[in-house]
């Protein structure tokens, strides 16, 4: 068998995306072209040899077409830890996540300080500002919560409040908690605050490009009891396409940075 085998690029694309095309769609949108498997190409990802693979773990070979080498977008995106989704109905490939899709905060892998920060579903503790929630993260003195997000999101939209008998302003500080953060792990990327007389407040943090983040919750005073709550309506997403750059979406109440 020859090293360079003639293939149909349309068949390759269909296998990569794993979609079912009707004959009418294929006739209107798929154009057969001549291309080659380029088995002489190897890949180095972040200084190490990398072998692209399909969803079943089978090795993939680059396609050579008109002077360029092509790889399946899913294999490359997953190697770079970029979220990727395919919508078979609209025939759209979303690289970097779907803009309007939200991932609830408590559905994410996380580590919490279980001494002063505790997840609760107790109906008395989930009643915040006269609104009933299903679950909250209660932080009565100070606490940290670490989320592993693998660079899949652009924003953390945090719904937070200070409940009675809290009497101190509470600061929510964002840190880079990646193992590779080194000295920058001690640098506050953004700090937002909630006051006791505020209603539930929406805090928006930019987390684009981060693998792991830490939210540190504490008053600027020395370890007072703060009675802070992070609510289950908080979420990660890839931005609000309806909002202008730097402008919170309708109904949001982003605080200013100190």
- Whether pLDDT at 14 is above 70: no
d(CA 155, CA 166): 28
- Residue 160: its pLDDT value, please? 98
Report the CATH number at residue 135: 2.60.120.1060
* Structural domain of 196: 102-237
Binned at pLDDT 50, 70 and 90, residue 91 comes out as confident
Among residues 167, 147, 164, the alpha carbon closest in space to that of 156 is found at 147
Q: Are residues 28 and 113 in the same domain?
A: no
In a domain? residue 151: yes
Query: CB-hemisphere CA count at 13 Å for 130?
Result: 3
Q: Are residues 106 and 228 in the same domain?
A: yes
169-184 burial, b at 16+ Cβ within 10 Å, e below that, comes to bbbbbbbbbbeebeee
- Residue 82: its pLDDT value, please? 76
Q: What are the tens digits of pLDDT across the range 63-82?
A: 999 999 988 888 887 777 77
d(CA 98, CA 101): 5
pLDDT over 70 percentage in the chain:
81
In a domain? residue 242: no
Give the lowest-confidence range in 21-35, 73-87, 170-184, 224-238.
Answer: 21-35
Q: Are residues 91 and 106 in the same domain?
A: no
- Report pTM: 0.68
- Whether pLDDT at 105 is above 90: yes
pLDDT mean over 154-182: 94
**Beta pairing partners, 118:** 138
- Residue 38: its pLDDT value, please? 92
Domain edge (last residue) among 61, 95, 129: 95
Give the lowest-confidence range in 40-44, 49-53, 101-105, 221-225.
Answer: 221-225
Domain edge (last residue) among 95, 126, 145: 95
- Residue 161: its pLDDT value, please? 98
Q: What are the tens digits of pLDDT across the range 178-225?
A: 988 787 888 999 999 999 999 999 999 999 889 999 999 999 887 789
pLDDT over 90 percentage in the chain:
48
Number of domains into which the chain is organized: 2
- Whether pLDDT at 255 is above 50: no
Q: What are the tens digits of pLDDT across the range 129-143?
A: 999 999 999 999 999
Look up tokens 């006739």; give the residue. Answer: 27
- Whether pLDDT at 249 is above 60: no
- Residue 26: its pLDDT value, please? 58
- Residue 169: its pLDDT value, please? 96
Binned at pLDDT 50, 70 and 90, residue 22 comes out as low
| Nearest-5° Cα angle at 73, 28 to 92 | 45
Q: Are residues 27 and 88 in the same domain?
A: yes
């Amino acid at each position: 068998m020859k090293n360079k085998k003639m293939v149909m690029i349309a068949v390759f694309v269909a296998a990569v995306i794993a979609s079912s095309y009707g004959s009418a769609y294929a006739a209107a949108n798929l154009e057969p072209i001549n291309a080659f498997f380029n088995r002489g190409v190897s890949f180095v990802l972040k200084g190490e040899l990398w072998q692209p693979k399909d969803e079943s773990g089978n090795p993939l070979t680059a396609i050579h077409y008109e002077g360029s080498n092509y790889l399946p977008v899913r294999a490359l995106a997953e190697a770079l830890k970029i979220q990727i989704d395919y919508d078979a109905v609209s025939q759209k490939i979303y690289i970097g996540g779907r803009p309007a899709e939200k991932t609830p905060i408590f559905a994410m892998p996380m580590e919490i300080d279980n001494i002063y920060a505790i997840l609760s579903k107790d109906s008395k503790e989930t009643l915040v500002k006269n609104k009933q929630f299903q679950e909250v993260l209660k932080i009565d003195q100070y606490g940290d919560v670490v989320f592993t997000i693998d660079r899949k999101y652009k924003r953390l939209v945090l719904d937070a409040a200070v409940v009675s008998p809290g009497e101190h302003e509470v600061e929510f500080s964002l840190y880079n908690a990646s193992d590779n953060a080194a000295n920058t792990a001690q640098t506050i990327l953004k700090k937002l605050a909630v006051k006791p007389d505020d209603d539930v407040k929406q805090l928006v943090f930019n987390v684009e490009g981060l693998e792991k983040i830490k939210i540190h919750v504490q008053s600027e005073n020395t370890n007072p009891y703060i009675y802070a709550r992070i609510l289950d309506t908080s979420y990660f997403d890839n931005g609000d396409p309806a909002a202008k750059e730097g402008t919170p979406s309708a109904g949001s109440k982003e605080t200013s940075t100190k």
